Amino acid sequence: MKIGVSSYTWPWAVGREAYPPEKPLDAFGLLEKTKRYGLPVLQFADTPHLHQMKQGQLEKISQTAKSNGITLEIGTRGIEPDHLSTYLAIAKTLGSNIVRTITKSLDNEAMGRLKSVLPAYEEAGVLIVLENHDEHSTRELASFIERIGSSFLGVCLDTVNSFAALEPPEIVVKTLAPYTLNFHVKDFQIVRFGHELGFSIIGSPAGEGRLDIPWITGYLKNAGIDTNLILEQWTPFSDSLDQTIKREDEWAARSIRYLKSIIE
């Protein structure tokens, strides 16, 4: 299991809608951070938008990653066949063996869309990994993948997303482990509001929250799953965007240090 980072390790610095940083962290900035921490994997999730880049830009990103010994993984949102075909071409350029994506629907139409592109993915040796999200339960996602029945379609297991579908990490891991081809680690805290009427789920540096990361990595290992571990962060907004970006950078350093202590 190799540790990697992602554009969701520094989402505020990359840029959120309505929160544009003065100098957004671009693909090359992410590569520089990956190099600085001595990590072998960088995942571009759905940002930066690789499909909006020119071929020359993509090739430069690929060359920079290779020269620094960094393996790239790519991601997007949606399962429209034309879009997934575009991302297959990008995966070939960047040397990514996965395309991580998200689908809101798991109906027959969604199944047909994926089946139409899977032969090309299989021929290229590239995996489609669907991230669990709040639009569906993990059982629904597992059943959907089973019905399609391709070894090139699996899950990007995220440790926190399914809270909104009323599923804690233990259920998520046990249900999706057999289909896991990629792994997002995102630690969290559950905090009661000051008025005590309700709770808030907020991010935490890895190893400092309520997520039992050693148990999850051990469970996956015992299940024979050896996939990259990608750090993501839900850093709460501070008083300003600059302070928030500084905080998420500090959290990244602490998180990476922790993950190295239990993985390496």
How do residues 122-163 score in pLDDT, each as one tens digit?
Answer: 999 999 999 999 989 999 999 999 999 999 999 999 999 999
For the cut 90, the answer to whether the pLDDT of residue 53 exceeds it is: yes
pLDDT at residue 6, rounded to an integer = 98
Q: For residue 54, what pLDDT band results from cuts at 50, 70 and 90?
A: very high
| Two structure tokens written together for 264 | 């390496």
According to CATH, what is the number of the domain 3-263?
A: 3.20.20.150
Q: What percent of the chain has pLDDT over 90?
A: 97
- The mean per-residue pLDDT over the stretch 98-123 comes to 98
Interatomic CA distance for residues 100 and 86, integer angstroms: 13
What pLDDT digit, counting tens, does each position of 15-35 carry?
998 999 999 999 999 999 999
Distance CA 132, CA 159 (A): 9
Compute the CA torsion angle 183, 30, 20, 199 (nearest 10 deg). 30
Residue by residue, what is the 3-state secondary structure of 45-77? CCCCCHHHCCHHHHHHHHHHHHHCCCEEEEECC
Rg (CA), the chain: 18
Mean pLDDT of the chain: 97
> Distance (Å, rounded) from C-alpha 145 to C-alpha 131?
12
- Tell me what pLDDT residue 264 has: 75
Q: Which of helix, strand or coil describes residue 153?
A: strand
Please name the residues in contact with 183: beta carbons below 8 A apart, sequence gap of 6 or more.
1, 156, 157, 220, 227, 228, 229, 230
Q: Are 248 and 21 in contact (CB under 8 A)?
A: no
